[in-house]
């Protein structure tokens, strides 16, 4: 008889990582999340001891249907899709993939900062559409990034990696707002702690890098945009819901801020008629923060290691709810 624990992988998994999982588990691999996969998932959930994938909401409703579940391994660092309290109550371990994506996401954010400030996608379109027929006029000039003030909202691992690039590479002055002080970034990158209001008032670039929680939902709204400089560029690489999108649209329309660079949206994929998509001064990306071959591979590998450790009774390296492991 096959005594390996049953696992459902609800995302396309790299073959090497799948092979690693299959050594320790009996894996149901759902490469695409369609109607068919959904019913296969529902049918297998009752016997599953482990789940691995991205984005699926893990709440009381789902946990009720999964009496054998021991661990859910998120292939992402953000875990706003987890109801951690419910998972702990159901004695289900929760894990994520910190660290391995930090530098890649920070690179993406520098890309958004540069793209929005220097209007790179707009200028690319100008060239490719054959409208580059005469020397540029000042109406087409961008704004400098170096020596400007970058305000980072959320100074965790990724925020620190952005501060590093911005300070050491672009001589930027760093302000930050966070739940707690981060003395390391203050010492290394001369970052200055301030209130969210002060940050909004003083920053040339406001970059949001907080996890999505109840406290950070709509953290940036009308009041914050009004406090920003008219020349401010707003960057979001966290979750769309940390920002009131209506207020963002209004701020851009009314010239309360200059531009925005967004990797995330309240609803993903974003609707093609969303007002943000019609604005030339808004650079949009389809949530590619961590989307490089190397990093997505490392994330899948890390998530698989978390899952296998948990199923073998070892402490998963990126365990989020310690109490479940201690009480097992």
- Residue 72's nearest CA partner among 303, 315, 325 is 303
- Residue 92's nearest CA partner among 67, 75, 71 is 71
Among 13, 51, 70, 78, binds ligand 8YV (CB under 6 A): 78
As a whole number of angstroms, the distance between CA 204 and CA 313 comes to: 49
Give start and end residues of each alpha helix (H) in the chain: 15-24, 35-45, 60-64, 84-89, 102-117, 120-128, 157-164, 170, 183-189, 196-202, 222-227, 245-253, 293-311, 322-326
- In the complex, minimum distance from the CB of residue 129 to ligand 8YV, in angstroms, rounded to a whole number: 32
Give the nearer residue to ligand 8YV in terms of CB position, either 77 or 259.
Answer: 77
Q: Which residue is nearest to ligand 8YV (CB)?
A: 78
Residue 41 has, within 13 A of its CA and on its CB side, a CA count of 20
Q: Which of residues 132-161 bind ligand 8YV (CB under 6 A)?
A: none
Q: Is 146 a catalytic residue?
A: no
Answer yes or no whether residue 236 interacts with ligand 8YV by CB under 6 A: no
Scanning 75-83, 106-114, 182-190, 197-205 for contacts with ligand 8YV by CB under 6 A, the matching segment is 75-83
- In the complex, minimum distance from the CB of residue 153 to ligand 8YV, in angstroms, rounded to a whole number: 16
- In the complex, minimum distance from the CB of residue 54 to ligand 8YV, in angstroms, rounded to a whole number: 4
Q: Could you give the angle at the alpha carbon of 294 between the alpha carbons of 291 and 300, nearest 5°?
A: 80
As a whole number of angstroms, the distance between CA 255 and CA 241 comes to: 22
Scanning 56-64, 74-82, 122-130, 278-286 for contacts with ligand 8YV by CB under 6 A, the matching segment is 74-82
Give the nearer residue to ligand 8YV in terms of CB position, either 5 or 98.
Answer: 98
Q: Which of residues 36-55 bind ligand 8YV (CB under 6 A)?
A: 54-55
Q: Which of residues 88-127 bind ligand 8YV (CB under 6 A)?
A: 101
Task: Note whether 262 and 282 are within 8 A (CB).
Answer: yes
As a whole number of angstroms, the distance between CA 24 and CA 189 comes to: 44
Q: Is 274 a catalytic residue?
A: no
Q: Would you give the distance in Å from CA 286 to the centre of its chain?
A: 11
As a whole number of angstroms, the distance between CA 236 and CA 243 comes to: 8
- In the complex, minimum distance from the CB of residue 319 to ligand 8YV, in angstroms, rounded to a whole number: 17
Answer yes or no whether residue 13 interacts with ligand 8YV by CB under 6 A: no
Answer yes or no whether residue 77 interacts with ligand 8YV by CB under 6 A: yes
As a whole number of angstroms, the distance between CA 108 and CA 117 comes to: 14
Give the nearer residue to ligand 8YV in terms of CB position, either 77 or 172.
Answer: 77
Give the nearer residue to ligand 8YV in terms of CB position, either 76 or 262.
Answer: 76
Q: Which of residues 261-320 bind ligand 8YV (CB under 6 A)?
A: 289-290
Q: Is 239 a catalytic residue?
A: yes
CA distance to 10, 27, 36, 166, per residue, from 30 (Å): 5, 9, 9, 40
The residues of the shown chain that bind ligand 8YV, judged by CB under 6 A, are: 54-55, 75-78, 101, 289-290
Residues recognised as catalytic: 239, 268, 287
């Amino acid at each position: 008889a096959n005594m390996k624990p049953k696992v459902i992988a609800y995302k396309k998994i790299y073959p090497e990582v799948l092979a690693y999982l299959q050594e320790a588990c009996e894996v149901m691999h759902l490469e695409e999340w369609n109607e068919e996969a959904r019913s296969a998932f529902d049918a297998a959930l009752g016997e599953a001891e482990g789940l691995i994938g991205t984005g699926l909401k893990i709440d009381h409703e789902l946990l009720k249907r999964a009496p054998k579940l021991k661990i859910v391994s998120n292939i992402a660092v953000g875990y706003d899709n987890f109801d951690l309290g419910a998972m702990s109550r159901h004695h289900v371990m929760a894990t994520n993939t910190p660290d391995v994506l930090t530098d890649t996401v920070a690179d993406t954010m520098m890309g958004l900062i540069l793209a929005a400030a220097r209007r790179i996608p707009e200028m690319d379109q100008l060239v490719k559409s054959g409208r580059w027929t005469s020397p540029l006029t000042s109406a087409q000039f961008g704004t400098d990034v170096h020596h400007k003030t970058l305000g980072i909202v959320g100074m965790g691992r990724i925020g620190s990696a952005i501060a590093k690039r911005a300070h050491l590479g672009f001589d930027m002055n760093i302000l930050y707002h966070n739940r707690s002080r981060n003395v390391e970034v203050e010492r290394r990158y001369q970052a200055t702690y301030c209130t969210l209001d002060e940050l909004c008032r003083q920053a040339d670039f406001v970059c949001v890098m907080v996890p999505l929680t109840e406290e950070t939902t709509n953290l940036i709204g009308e009041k914050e945009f009004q406090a920003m400089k008219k020349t401010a560029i707003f960057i979001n690489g966290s979750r769309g819901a940390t920002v009131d999108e209506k207020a963002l649209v209004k701020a851009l329309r009314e010239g309360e801020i200059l531009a925005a660079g967004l990797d995330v949206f309240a609803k993903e994929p974003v609707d093609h008629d969303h007002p943000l998509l019609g604005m030339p001064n808004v650079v949009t990306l389809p949530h590619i923060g961590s989307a490089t071959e190397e990093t997505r591979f490392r994330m899948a590998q890390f998530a698989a290691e978390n899952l296998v450790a948990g199923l073998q009774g070892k402490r998963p390296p990126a365990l989020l709810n310690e109490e479940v492991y201690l009480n097992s």
